[in-house]
């Protein structure tokens, strides 16, 4: 008997290893022309793991504080062995993770994978997307550079527009009336403790639900396969799909390495609260569509303040988005076409407004 | 009775309302009436005598509560022109040009009076004017020279801090040029009339008018305003040193000071000119068309050799800074972190500026000291830039190797998948 088999046998005896992985052996993945979209969830998870690992390494040198944060990141970038690589991978991976999370969400939407009984998978996924954006917002401030400082100022100001709870929420986020060292401490806390904790729990729930409910089949195909079971094509999750997923992870790793080596993440100029905001300041790309929308709303719409209206509308849309599966029919042959229309519009709106926001002066 | 009483009340109420209306109407009519009858007529008169209400309201004196009578006398409360402009009422009519400085000085030389309007306003303008070329010539009977109103304007006189004022720093040169650039007007004074044309091409004009730097010099900065006079050949460096203090310190100790003084040459002006001062470049130390040294020195003499040494030192440092900038720029655009070296480049540029200032000492040892300091800093920055480029190349090699490794793993995985699925 080989040593590997010995170890497996030893573990199986104590942990019931075979019992644990048995469901994975039985698990199958539907095989069709759009199966490659199923990789996106796994790639997002892989990038999250990269984030956790590089984040832990950055924590060895990063010091939160208005007088230390920028210098510590500068030290990481210039003095620490491979510090530049770790930081650049962390920043690039964060952006790629948000991108793949968005792409995963829209693929789920277009493949109608959110339908009964997967409503909770969708809800946990959308909340995860919000958390991932929260990671981006809180992490952006941590290097304490000029752009980050003013982007946080603008971002938290927008939060302050929410009626009734806006102002207290803004003060809670900032740790006072203004963006100061107290804000940096809070954002650091959110970024390395609160958000990772919540995200890990939700990821576990999300993956558990995917495991429990299996992978969804697009409605048309489901009807077709139900009518003619001999047409049904599947692939074993373990090892066939997982090996392909592993290939996707390696590709993601290569892309990350190339981005980090060719375009190391910029450090910028240390934040100075006493200088005026740089002209044309914009948030990170994933907030651009909301930022640009708020910019386009007139100062007064009827009797409501334009920005307040914008924030309220985004809040309402976010809530409806979260509850989207509950508007859908659970029968594969009676899916609601308007939801697909809304998805197309949402995708076009987010992409269009982001490009407009990027190009606008 | 009750009805009658009510009627009576109604009548009383109507009467009170009517009376109140008449009072309000009278007040409104009265409000429109002026207490300065001068403007009633003069606003309708043609240019020479005409002063509109709108124009006078812009005048700082009017804003401070002064009226026409404050300068011209008379009784502005009377609507009768004979009474308003009677000598009995102190009417002076048109003020004689010769009397204008004295008239303005009657208030502006009185600290107690001026303090109530502007405690920080100086009250020595008239005294200074008497010492100026303008003042002296006026006293000698020359009425063509500038008096207060020629520069400050009249009836719409604004505070110098007002950008529309004729004596606002940005407008001073234009104001002076109205006379000093007029060749016909200046005929007989035997002074040039190209000062403004030259000043308009100068580095000082560019700073003031183009860049909006209000600390940059205009005519009055060097010549004085109320006490306007040419600085005098031996006082030129005192004027320039007000701003260019370090250059003046160096020049004071230099061999050129004595040489220029003994030859009655006007210090700074010899090399830099006066009104048309151009941006000083290192070419001034050369032998080309912009060169100044060789106007006095002969080729091959000790001074020519020193000049060549200065120029080569400055150009060496300048080139070194540019080379380091170029390497750091490429490193930065490749995403390398070189902000410390970039900051160091500012120090190197400071050394170059210092060396250019030290040139005014005309001492090779002092200039070399600054140049060497700059070269040392630049060499360090260049090294940092080169190191960053080496690091960048290492990263790219590392990336290439990693991508090859990833490619091999991907190929292996693909083959393994194919094998297990077959």
Q: Residues A104-132: pLDDT tens digits?
A: 999 999 999 999 999 999 999 999 999 99
Nearest beta carbon to residue B413 from set A247, A262, A266:
A247
Nearest beta carbon to residue A261 from set B337, B398, B409:
B398
User: What is the average per-residue pLDDT within B316-321?
Assistant: 97
- What is the predicted pLDDT for the residue at A227? 92
Task: For B138-190, give the DSSP string.
Answer: HHTT-TTS--HHHHH-SSS---TTSTTSTTSHHHHHHHHHHHHT-TTTTTTS-
For residues B384 and B348, is the Cβ–Cβ distance under 8 A?
no
**Residue written as token pair 């599966």:** A325
For residues A9 and B203, the model is more confident at B203
Q: Which two tokens stand for residue B248?
A: 């003046």
Mean pLDDT, chain B, integer: 88
| Alpha carbon A339 to its chain's center | 22
- What is the predicted pLDDT for the residue at B29? 41
- What is the predicted pLDDT for the residue at B2? 42
How does DSSP classify residue A299? S
Residue A95 has pLDDT above 60, yes or no: yes
Sequence-ordered strand ranges (E) for chain A: 28-30, 234-236, 300-301, 304-305
User: What is the average per-residue pLDDT within A187-195?
Assistant: 97
Q: What Cα–Cα distance (Å) separates residue A21 from each residue in A15, A25, A310?
A: 11, 7, 48
Query: CB B399 to CB A262 under 8 A?
Result: yes
Terminal CA-CA length for chain A? 69
B413 touches chain A (CB under 8 A): yes
Q: Which residues of chain B are within 8 Å of residue A78 when distances are taken between CB atoms?
A: 337, 340
User: What is the average per-residue pLDDT within A86-110?
Assistant: 97
- What is the predicted pLDDT for the residue at B15? 55
The answer to whether position B356 is within a domain reads yes
Among A199-213, B1-15, B177-191, the minimum mean pLDDT is found in B1-15
Which residues make beta-bridge pairs with A235? Answer: A29
Query: CB B416 to CB A240 under 8 A?
Result: no
Domains contained in chain B, number: 1
- What is the predicted pLDDT for the residue at B33? 44
For residues B29 and A126, the model is more confident at A126
Query: CB B410 to CB A250 under 8 A?
Result: yes
- What is the predicted pLDDT for the residue at A334? 84
Region at B153 (left for phi over 0; alpha for psi -120 to 50; beta for the rest): left
Query: CB B395 to CB A261 under 8 A?
Result: yes
Alpha carbons A150 and A43: distance in angstroms, whole number: 32
User: What is the average per-residue pLDDT within B178-203?
Assistant: 94
Region at A263 (left for phi over 0; alpha for psi -120 to 50; beta for the rest): beta
Alpha carbons A93 and A90: distance in angstroms, whole number: 5
For residues A16 and A219, is the Cβ–Cβ distance under 8 A?
no
Alpha carbons B218 and B237: distance in angstroms, whole number: 16
Q: Which residues of chain A are within 8 Å of residue B413 when distances are taken between CB atoms?
A: 243, 246-247, 250
The sign of the dihedral angle between the CA atoms of B322, B327, B328, B332 is positive
**Residue written as token pair 């490009």:** A355
Interface test with A, best of B406, B407, B409, B411 (most A CBs within 10 A): B406
φ, ψ (nearest 5 deg) of residue A234: -140, 160
- H helix and E strand count, chain B: 22, 0
Residue A73, class by beta-carbon neighbours within 10 Å (0-12 exposed, 13-18 middle, 19+ buried)? buried
How does DSSP classify residue B201? T
Is the preceding omega at residue A196 within 30 degrees of 0, hence cis? no
**Sequence-separated (6 or more) residues with CB below 8 Å from residue B154:** none
For residues B208 and B170, is the Cβ–Cβ distance under 8 A?
yes
Which residues make beta-bridge pairs with A234? Answer: A30
Alpha carbons A182 and A172: distance in angstroms, whole number: 10
Domain of B358: which CATH number? 1.20.140
Query: CB A250 to CB B409 under 8 A?
Result: yes
- What is the predicted pLDDT for the residue at A31? 93
Residue B360 has pLDDT above 80, yes or no: yes
The sign of the dihedral angle between the CA atoms of B120, B126, B129, B131 is negative
SS3 A172: helix
Nearest to B233 by CA among B202, B261, B272: B261
For residues A305 and A299, is the Cβ–Cβ distance under 8 A?
yes
- What is the predicted pLDDT for the residue at B25? 43
A264-290 pLDDT, tens digit per residue, is 998 888 999 888 888 888 899 999 999
Reported confidence tier of residue A344, pLDDT bands at 50, 70, 90: very high
What residues make up the domain containing B375?
302-421
A77 touches chain B (CB under 8 A): yes
Query: CB A254 to CB B420 under 8 A?
Result: no
Angle between helices A146-159 and A119-141 (to 10 degrees): 130
B335, closest residue in chain A (CA to CA):
A264
Q: Which two tokens stand for residue A122?
A: 């969708």
For residues A324 and B93, the model is more confident at A324
Reported confidence tier of residue A15, pLDDT bands at 50, 70, 90: confident
B419 touches chain A (CB under 8 A): no
Is this prediction's pTM over 0.90?
Answer: no
Which residues make beta-bridge pairs with B320? Answer: none
φ, ψ (nearest 5 deg) of residue A270: -55, 140
B271-306 pLDDT, tens digit per residue, is 998 899 988 899 989 888 888 898 888 888 888 999
Among A4-18, B5-19, B82-96, B139-153, the minimum mean pLDDT is found in B5-19
**Sequence-separated (6 or more) residues with CB below 8 Å from residue B200:** B173
Superfamily per CATH, domain A25-359: Cytochrome Bc1 Complex; Chain C (1.20.810.10)
A224 touches chain B (CB under 8 A): no
Residue B7 has pLDDT above 50, yes or no: no
A359 touches chain B (CB under 8 A): no
- What is the predicted pLDDT for the residue at B154? 92
- What is the predicted pLDDT for the residue at B160? 92
Nearest to B204 by CA among B152, B250, B243, B234: B243
Enumerate long-range contacts of A64-71, CB under 8 Å, 24 or more apart: A64/A142, A64/A184, A64/A185, A64/A188, A65/A181, A65/A184, A65/A185, A66/A144, A66/A180, A66/A181, A66/A184, A66/A271, A67/A181, A69/A142, A69/A143, A69/A144, A69/A184, A70/A143, A70/A144, A70/A145, A70/A267, A70/A270, A70/A271, A71/A270
- What is the predicted pLDDT for the residue at B109? 95
Residue B327, class by beta-carbon neighbours within 10 Å (0-12 exposed, 13-18 middle, 19+ buried)? buried
Alpha carbons A323 and A320: distance in angstroms, whole number: 5
B398 touches chain A (CB under 8 A): yes
- What is the predicted pLDDT for the residue at A161? 86
Reported confidence tier of residue B233, pLDDT bands at 50, 70, 90: low
SS3 A179: coil
- What is the predicted pLDDT for the residue at A209? 95
Reported confidence tier of residue B11, pLDDT bands at 50, 70, 90: very low
Alpha carbons B380 and B375: distance in angstroms, whole number: 9
| Alpha carbon A58 to its chain's center | 20
- What is the predicted pLDDT for the residue at B234? 67
Burial A234-253 (b: 16+ CB within 10 A, else e): bebbbebbeebbbbbbbebb
How does DSSP classify residue A286? G
Query: CB A262 to CB B340 under 8 A?
Result: no
Among B38-52, B162-176, B196-210, B242-256, the minimum mean pLDDT is found in B38-52
Reported confidence tier of residue B151, pLDDT bands at 50, 70, 90: very high
Mean pLDDT, chain A, integer: 93
Query: CB B335 to CB A258 under 8 A?
Result: no
The sign of the dihedral angle between the CA atoms of A274, A278, A280, A282 is negative
Burial B361-399 (b: 16+ CB within 10 A, else e): bbbeebbeebbebbbebbebbbebbeebbebbeebeeeb
User: What is the average per-residue pLDDT within A170-191?
Assistant: 96
Q: What share of chain B has pLDDT > 70, as a percent?
A: 91
Q: What share of chain B has pLDDT > 90, as a percent?
A: 61
A259 touches chain B (CB under 8 A): no
Alpha carbons A202 and A225: distance in angstroms, whole number: 32
Q: Which residues of chain A are within 8 Å of residue B419 when distances are taken between CB atoms?
A: none
Q: What Cα–Cα distance (Å) separates residue B1 from each residue in B4, B125, B278?
A: 5, 81, 100
Terminal CA-CA length for chain B? 124
The answer to whether position B210 is within a domain reads no
B110 touches chain A (CB under 8 A): no
Q: Which residues of chain A are within 8 Å of residue B396 when distances are taken between CB atoms?
A: 261-262
Reported confidence tier of residue A87, pLDDT bands at 50, 70, 90: very high
Q: Which residues of chain A are within 8 Å of residue B407 when distances are taken between CB atoms?
A: 254
For residues B109 and B124, is the Cβ–Cβ distance under 8 A?
yes
For residues A258 and B399, is the Cβ–Cβ distance under 8 A?
yes
B396 touches chain A (CB under 8 A): yes
Alpha carbons A99 and A224: distance in angstroms, whole number: 32
For residues A180 and A173, is the Cβ–Cβ distance under 8 A?
no
């Amino acid at each position: 008997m080989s040593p590997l088999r010995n170890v497996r046998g030893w573990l199986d005896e104590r942990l019931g290893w075979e019992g644990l992985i048995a469901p994975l052996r039985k698990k199958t993945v539907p095989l069709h022309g759009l199966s490659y979209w199923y990789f996106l969830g796994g790639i997002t998870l892989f990038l999250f793991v990269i984030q956790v690992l590089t984040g832990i390494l950055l924590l060895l040198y990063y010091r939160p504080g208005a007088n230390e944060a920028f210098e510590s990141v500068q030290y990481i970038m210039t003095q620490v062995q491979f510090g530049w690589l770790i930081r650049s991978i962390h920043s690039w991976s964060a952006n790629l993770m948000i991108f793949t999370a968005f792409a995963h969400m829209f693929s789920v939407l277009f493949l109608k994978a959110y339908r009964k009984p997967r409503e909770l998978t969708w809800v946990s996924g959308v909340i995860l997307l919000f958390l991932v954006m929260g990671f981006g917002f809180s992490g952006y401030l941590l290097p304490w550079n000029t752009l980050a400082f003013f982007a946080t100022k603008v971002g938290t100001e927008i939060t302050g527009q929410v009626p009734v709870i806006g102002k207290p929420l803004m003060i809670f986020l900032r740790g006072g009336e203004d963006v100061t060292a107290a804000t940096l401490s809070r954002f650091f806390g959110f970024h390395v403790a609160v958000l990772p904790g919540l995200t890990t729990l939700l990821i576990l729930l999300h993956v558990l639900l995917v495991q429990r409910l299996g992978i969804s089949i697009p409605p048309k195909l489901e009807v077709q396969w139900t009518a003619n079971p001999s047409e049904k094509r599947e692939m074993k999750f373990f090892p066939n799909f997982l090996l392909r997923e592993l290939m996707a992870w390696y590709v993601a790793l290569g892309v990350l390495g190339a981005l980090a080596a060719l375009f190391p993440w910029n450090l910028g100029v240390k934040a100075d609260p006493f200088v005026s905001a740089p002209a044309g300041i914009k948030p990170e790309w994933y907030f651009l569509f909301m930022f640009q929308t708020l910019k386009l709303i007139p100062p007064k719409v009827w009797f409501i303040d334009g920005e307040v209206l914008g924030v309220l509308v985004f809040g309402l849309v976010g809530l409806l988005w979260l509850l989207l599966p509950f508007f859908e029919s659970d029968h594969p042959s009676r899916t609601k076409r308007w939801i697909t229309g809304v998805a197309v519009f949402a995708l076009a709106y987010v992409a269009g407004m982001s490009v407009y926001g990027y190009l606008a002066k | 009775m009750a009805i009658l009483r009510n009627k009576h009340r109604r009548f009383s109420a109507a009467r009170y309302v009517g009376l109140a209306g008449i009072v309000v109407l009278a007040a409104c009519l009265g409000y429109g009436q002026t207490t300065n009858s001068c403007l009633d007529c003069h606003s309708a008169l043609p240019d020479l005598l005409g002063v509109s209400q709108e124009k006078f309201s812009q005048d700082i004196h009017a804003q401070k509560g002064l009226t026409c009578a404050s300068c011209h006398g008379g009784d502005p409360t009377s609507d009768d022109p004979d009474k308003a402009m009677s000598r009995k009422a102190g009417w002076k009519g048109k003020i004689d040009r010769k009397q204008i400085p004295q008239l303005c000085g009657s208030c502006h030389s009185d600290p107690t009076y001026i303090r109530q309007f502007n405690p920080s306003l100086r009250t020595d303008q008239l005294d200074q004017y008497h010492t100026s070329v303008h003042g002296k010539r006026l006293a000698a009977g020359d009425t063509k020279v500038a008096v207060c109103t020629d520069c400050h304007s009249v009836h719409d006189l604004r505070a110098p801090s007002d950008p529309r004022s004729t004596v606002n720093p940005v407008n001073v040169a234009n104001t002076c040029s109205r006379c000093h650039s007029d060749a016909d007007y200046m005929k007989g004074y035997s002074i040039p009339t190209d000062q403004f044309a030259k000043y308009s091409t100068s580095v000082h004009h560019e700073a003031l008018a183009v860049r909006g730097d209000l600390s940059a010099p205009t005519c009055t900065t060097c010549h004085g305003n109320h006490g306007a006079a040419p600085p005098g050949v031996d006082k030129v460096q005192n004027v320039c040193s007000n701003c260019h203090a370090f250059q003046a310190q160096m020049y004071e100790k230099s061999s050129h000071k004595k040489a220029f003084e003994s030859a009655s040459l006007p210090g700074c002006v010899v090399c830099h000119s006066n009104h048309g001062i151009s941006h000083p470049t290192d070419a001034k130390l050369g032998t080309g068309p912009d060169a100044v040294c060789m106007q006095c020195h002969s080729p091959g003499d000790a001074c020519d050799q020193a000049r060549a040494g200065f120029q080569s030192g400055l150009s060496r440092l300048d080139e070194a800074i540019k080379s380091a900038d170029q390497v750091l720029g490429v490193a930065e655009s490749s995403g390398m972190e070189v902000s410390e070296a970039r900051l160091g480049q500012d120090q190197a540029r400071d050394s170059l500026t210092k060396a250019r200032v030290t040139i005014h000492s005309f001492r090779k040892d002092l200039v070399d000291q600054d140049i060497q300091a700059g070269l040392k800093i630049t060499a360090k920055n260049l090294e940092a830039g080169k190191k960053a480029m080496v690091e960048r190349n290492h990263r790219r090699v590392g990336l290439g190797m990693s991508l090859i490794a990833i490619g091999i793993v991907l190929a292996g995985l693909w083959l393994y998948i194919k094998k297990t699925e077959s």
